[in-house]
Each structure stands twice: as C-alpha cells, then as structure tokens.
Structure 1
C-alpha cells in the first residue's frame, strides 16, 4: 500500500493542472487515469486521418485573450488561429443556399435567443432558456440547435442564471495542431499512472483510502476530477456516502450530449474558404435536425459536423455508422450525392457512451444554478472536486477545468498541511 500527500483522480485538463501545482509544491502525489492516455475530453486523434490532427473533444480556446492555454501555446510556439464569432458564413435550407438577407435574419434570430436567455439570467431569473425565447419564428430550430450544442442540453432544461454566469469574450481560437495535443504537451512533465480505474474512496479514516484496479492507495487529501455523470453514476463507491448536497448538485448539473462526425475527403471542397462554417436545416421536417459543419478545416480536406440534443443522443446510441450516415445525408443535401464518392474515411465521437466520462460537458438545469457552488465545497476537509463543471464562470471549457484543478490543488495542499 502506497501513501501520498495528495491523490488526483483523472488526468484531464483539471487533473493535469492539479498535478502541475502539486509538483511545484514538492509534495508526494499520484495522478491516476482510467484511460490509456491523458487529456480526458481533450483528445487530439492523430491516427484516424493520417497526418491531420482531429480534436475529438475540445477544440477552441474560448475567451482566448484571457485563456491560460493561449499563453501556454505562445510559450511553446504552438500555432492557433485568431478568430471571433463562429457565426455561419453559409446557411442551407433543404439543400439550397440561402441568400445573404435570409442568412442574416436567421443568425439575428439565433443571437436574439441567446440575448433573451442571458437577459433573464442577468436579471436573476433561474428559469429554462426556452421559456424566454421566441419559439414561434421560423429560425427557432436553428437557435435551438446552437443552444443545445453550446450547453450540451436542450434549451427547455438550461438554467438562464447559469448561462448568464458564463464569461465570454467571443474569441474562439482553434489550435492548428489540436487543443488536446496542446493540453497534453503542456503537462508532459507531470507523471501519470495510466489504465488505473478507481473503484472506491473511503473517507471513514485518516488517511483516505483509494481502492483502484491496481491496489489500494492512501492519501491525506484527494482531488476528484471525474464528470458529474460519473459522480452520479455510482461507478465510484464512497464511504461514507457523498453529502446529499453534492449528490443532488451532480444530478442537477449533468454532463450533456454533444458529438462530432468527421469526414476525410480526397481534396478540399472547391469554392469554400479555409475553415468555413455552414449550417444546414430542412424547415418543417423534425426528422432532419439542423447540423453545422466546418469545411476545409485548416485548409485540409476535412469536414467536421456537430450533433447535439436528442438527435445526437439517439444517433450515438445507435452507433457510429448511424452518426456518419446522418452527417453524410446532410452533406449530400448541400453538395449533392457525388460528395459520397469523395469521402476516404469517416469517424464519429462517442462521448455519451464513453464509460469513463458519460457525456460531453456540464449544464446546470433550470432552477439549479447553485449546483456548481455545491460541487466546489470541500467534502470532510479532505476530498475536493475539480473539473469544468466546478467552474463558476468558465464551465464546459478546458480553461475552466484547468483553473478548477489549480484551485483544488491549493485547497488540498492547505488541508494536507
């Protein structure tokens, strides 16, 4: 049995940041990761499209001018693109490109929906986002898609008070070599024990006992960085049980659904700029949910689509072929059936069913904007939660996860004496 000052569970952005802080403090620690890789939901896949990195998880450095990973990228000489809003450059309706006026009207409606939700939250109202939006207009399905995508939860469940707490500079800067690769490289000096699943955490005595697939460890403090869905799933046994407030907070701030489907083509798509954004929808057909695509990703012959809401949940449950088929059908609407012959390889993410994560990123449900504060509270003075869900103002982001990991490390160091 090994003893440490601090044990960190999970080597995503939060766990790696905690490891960095603990290493700098010179205490004994162990970072345990259930997967065979680091990064968690920050994962740059460099194999699926040979020579072309694909971020299966987080991709944009949100609020980039204030994002610590942007500073890290500068220090390491990692290239990224300075971009502002991701407002679409093209809208396709039933396969036909809408004119500029229609596209502007659609995006004005999308932004009006977000503005209405933010205004409600800023006024202190903790209600569902859909209830304050204009749902009768023709562009509500598109607004619903984007709300569901950015919060990983449908608008009828999103807390307006939580949504308004998110601090956003509107700077979304993608990392050319992959955001996941940047996060892994930034913490390359942090020792991580891979393929180690944690089964139980026993706080009934001092030190805390952590039961893993490779034996039992002990520590004076533990930092737990798993997703809220894992926390609520019972996959980790707690003795004594987690406080009611924490268990309820995890249930009220679930990890929602957001997936990607990506295609490698024989060559970049003609007539589109480098990293062009488009949206496609079929008005009046609820079976054809909207989907947005990035075309010619970093001038590469790659198209990446984003799925969310119940459509994504159902497709993900049906498996990768169903997800690819849905994305391909939308591409055929835009580019014609000939696009199928140009596809060399396709893939889809499966975060919702990933046994170590069970979802994309967190969203506080309406009426429960206080859930994140409950997750931040120390448990019995020795167990600390970290991760994007714990962040008050940068939830659903890698930089929010990083900050929470640093804060948890400081708290754990203080508790460990």
Structure 2
C-alpha cells in the first residue's frame, strides 16, 4: 500500500477530521479503517428499520450552539431538532404514570446527584458516588443516569474527570442521523476500508505498520482507536508504549452503553414527538431503571438505553436477552398489549465490537489526568486522538473531531 508522510488509524470522527486537515496540507497520507464503513461510533443505520435513520451510536449534538457538527449540518442542509432540555418529560413507577410534581422531584434529584458527584475546584479526586446522597427515593434513577452519561457506574467515575466536562445543556437530536452527518462532513476524505492494523513498529524510521492488507510505512502516525482497544493488546506496539501511556489508557476505559430499539405499527398516541420517559419500579429494587425515547424523531420507534452493569450482563447474554429486558419494561409501562405492536427490534453491541470494545470513555478515580497523558505525543511521532483525549468534550463526537484536527496539526508541524 506504500509509504506516506502520515497514516491515520481509524475513520471515526477524529480520524476523518485528521484526514480533512491533512488533505489541505499537501502531505501524503492514508486513513485506515478496520470496518467496511466510516464513522466509528457514529453510525446511522438505515437498513434495519426499512429506511428510517437509526443512530446506533452517538445521536445528540451536545453543546449544540458551539458544536462544529451543528455548523456542518446547517451547511449541508441536514435536519436536527432544537430542544430546550433533555430532561425526561414523564416518569412511570411500575405500571403507574407519576404525576407531574413527582416527575419533577425525581428529575431534580437526578440533577442534584450530578452536581454532588462532580468534585469542586481544588478538591482531591474521589469516586463520584462519594458525594451523592444514596438514601433518597430517587437514587436508583440518579445512579442510572450517572452511569448512562459516563458509561461507568458512579463507583468507578472520577469526580474530577466528571467536573471537567463542559456542557451548554443544548442536546439536539439529529433527525437525519448523526452518523450520516459525520460521514457527509468528511465525504471528501479518502479512506481505506477493511484494513485492520496489527502492529505499529517505531523502532526505526519510517514507522512500520503491519495490517491485514500488507505493510505500510509513515513518518508519523495518528492513532484514533478507543482506549479499550489500546489497552486490549489488539494492536502490538514495538517498542511497548511508555508505561504512563498504557496506564492512562487503562485508567480511562471505554465504558458500556447500549440501545434497544423497537419499530411499532404506529406512533404511540400517549406521547408527543421524541418524548423522553424514565421507568422505575419502586417495588422491585432488582429491576434496573430504563429510560426510553418514545416516538423517536416522530417515527413509530421506541428506543431504550441500557448502561453499566446492566448493559454488560445483557449484552453478554445476547440480543434476545437485551430485547426481552427492554420489552418487559415497556410492558410494565404501557401494558402487555404493546408487544403485539412491535414489528421488529434491534440492539447495539458496542461492548463486544472488536474494533471499539465499549461506548465512550470515563476516567476512573485517581486517573483524572489520564486524558492529558494521552494527548502528549509518543516519541514525537505517534499522536493519539479521539473523544478520550478531549480535555472537556470527552464522550462526544465533536470532542473527537477537535482532537483529530489538533493531532493532524501536530503531525503537520512535525513534518515541516
């Protein structure tokens, strides 16, 4: 496949952004992607529901007013929904719909838990749960949301890392699909699909990259795979990565968050368009909470979100177990008759996807500095990019994009 000035490994939001900047630089480069598609964890599936766009991965334009993908959507004419809040509108306690006051109290408790979980400036790091009141009636729901938005349970979330996330609280769903938006934004970037990188050998110059399609060489490499892939050993590094880099990848793992989606015969008449609903059974503490998006983007879709230990256990059992769990929660909420209205269902499998091994990153207690370590060049020739290295927009597609642009700028400067 040849020799290049720069090779980019991974064609998610970070790798594609790096390719954009490299394409404008005049340097020779190649973007390698193990999958047969671009986008990484940004993936709009239009096949499973017969043309309806379903984002298997990222879906919300977080901090939308300053999100570069929102600007790209405007430029490309791709639709999104402007929402004032992602606060859930309805709460079901078992099979009973809570009144508006109770639903507000529950969500207020969720928001209070997020505030308490994050460390204040100057505080030492600690598990996020240490700051929370776990005795209240809404703790299980708050724990679910803490886990969902970090992909790790609060016992494993660094309070300092949580506090570092910067958010404008504008979370706008992309009607035409976030994955499709990411792909179209970088449509001019050439990508070599189906190329799995097996080793990166930096013992000599140029760097030698072994793949399933042969050997490539490059002066510099931009690596955009997830921290779990780095830590897994799926890519062999010669010599080994510096200990601090390996420890940083392990200390900022890619946690678990999965979706289960149901296509119904028609939209749910009980709800408006794209309504967020929480479910919690006070009488069954063994049943984890589930949150749904009803009438997803106006389509007859209901999308449930699983996370943390629940996602790990169910995804390990397989799609049938994931679907059965979410359908049981739907039955509790809407009655057993809802099952007859399901036309087809699907579930995501980010945890077992060998090219991803998780959803998005979260630093664990004591490892709040891991992202800064991962941002540093390795031997001045290897640059790591992706949402995990973002300083304050981690776990987002726009955070990944920004790091890809930054890594490419570093590689360009190193080549000049």
TM-score interval, normalised by the smaller of the two chains? over 0.9
Q: What residue number does 2:58 align with?
A: 58
For 2:397 and 2:178, how far apart are their aligned partners in 1?
9
* Residue 105 of structure 1: how far off its partner (Å): 1.0
Q: What residue number does 2:35 align with?
A: 35
Secondary structure of the residue that 1:338 maps to in structure 2? helix
TM-score by length of 2: 0.99
Q: What residue number does 2:108 align with?
A: 108
Q: What residue number does 1:277 align with?
A: 276
Q: What residue number does 1:73 align with?
A: 73
Equivalences for 1:239-278 in 2 at 5 Å? 239-278=238-277
TM-score by length of 1: 0.99
Q: Give CA-to-partner distance per residue, 1:138-163, whole Å, 9 cap, x none.
A: 10000000000000000011111111
* Residue 283 of structure 1: how far off its partner (Å): 1.6
Aligned length: 416
For 1:91 and 1:47, how far apart are their aligned partners in 2?
31
* Residue 285 of structure 1: how far off its partner (Å): 2.2
Q: CA RMSD in A?
A: 0.8
**Contact 1:42–1:398 (CA under 8 A) maintained in structure 2:** yes
* Residue 51 of structure 1: how far off its partner (Å): 2.0
* Residue 64 of structure 1: how far off its partner (Å): 0.3
**Contact 1:293–1:306 (CA under 8 A) maintained in structure 2:** yes
Q: What residue number does 2:376 align with?
A: 377
For 2:307 and 2:30, how far apart are their aligned partners in 1?
35
Q: What residue number does 1:145 align with?
A: 144
Q: Give CA-to-partner distance per residue, 1:159-200, whole Å, 9 cap, x none.
A: 111111111000001111100000001111100000000000
Equivalences for 1:92-171 in 2 at 5 Å? 92-118=92-118, 120-171=119-170
Q: What residue number does 2:190 align with?
A: 191
Does residue 353 of structure 2 align to residue 354 of structure 1? Answer: yes
Q: Give CA-to-partner distance per residue, 1:294-335, whole Å, 9 cap, x none.
A: 000121100000000111100000000100000000000011
Q: Give CA-to-partner distance per residue, 1:338-359, whole Å, 9 cap, x none.
A: 0000000000000000010000
For 1:298 and 1:382, how far apart are their aligned partners in 2?
44
For 1:81 and 1:88, how far apart are their aligned partners in 2?
16
Q: What residue number does 2:2 align with?
A: 2
**Contact 1:3–1:217 (CA under 8 A) maintained in structure 2:** yes
For 1:80 and 1:299, how far apart are their aligned partners in 2?
12
Q: What residue number does 1:214 align with?
A: 213
Q: What residue number does 1:177 align with?
A: 176
**Contact 1:121–1:162 (CA under 8 A) maintained in structure 2:** no
Q: What residue number does 1:290 align with?
A: 289
Q: Which runs of 5+ in 2 are unaligned?
A: none
Secondary structure of the residue that 1:156 maps to in structure 2? helix
Q: What residue number does 1:23 align with?
A: 23
Secondary structure of the residue that 1:378 maps to in structure 2? coil
Q: What residue number does 1:328 align with?
A: 327
Q: Give CA-to-partner distance per residue, 1:112-131, whole Å, 9 cap, x none.
A: 1011123x243433111101
Q: What residue number does 1:300 align with?
A: 299
Deviation above 2 Å: which 4+ runs of structure 1? 120-125, 284-287
* Residue 287 of structure 1: how far off its partner (Å): 2.6
**Contact 1:221–1:412 (CA under 8 A) maintained in structure 2:** yes
Q: Give CA-to-partner distance per residue, 1:233-285, whole Å, 9 cap, x none.
A: 00000000000000000000000000000000000001210001100011242
**Contact 1:59–1:178 (CA under 8 A) maintained in structure 2:** yes
For 1:284 and 1:114, how far apart are their aligned partners in 2?
25
For 2:286 and 2:169, how far apart are their aligned partners in 1?
31
Secondary structure of the residue that 1:18 maps to in structure 2? helix
User: Which segment is superposed worse, 120-129 or 149-158?
Assistant: 120-129
Secondary structure of the residue that 2:344 maps to in structure 1? strand
Secondary structure of the residue that 1:147 maps to in structure 2? helix
Secondary structure of the residue that 2:179 maps to in structure 1? helix
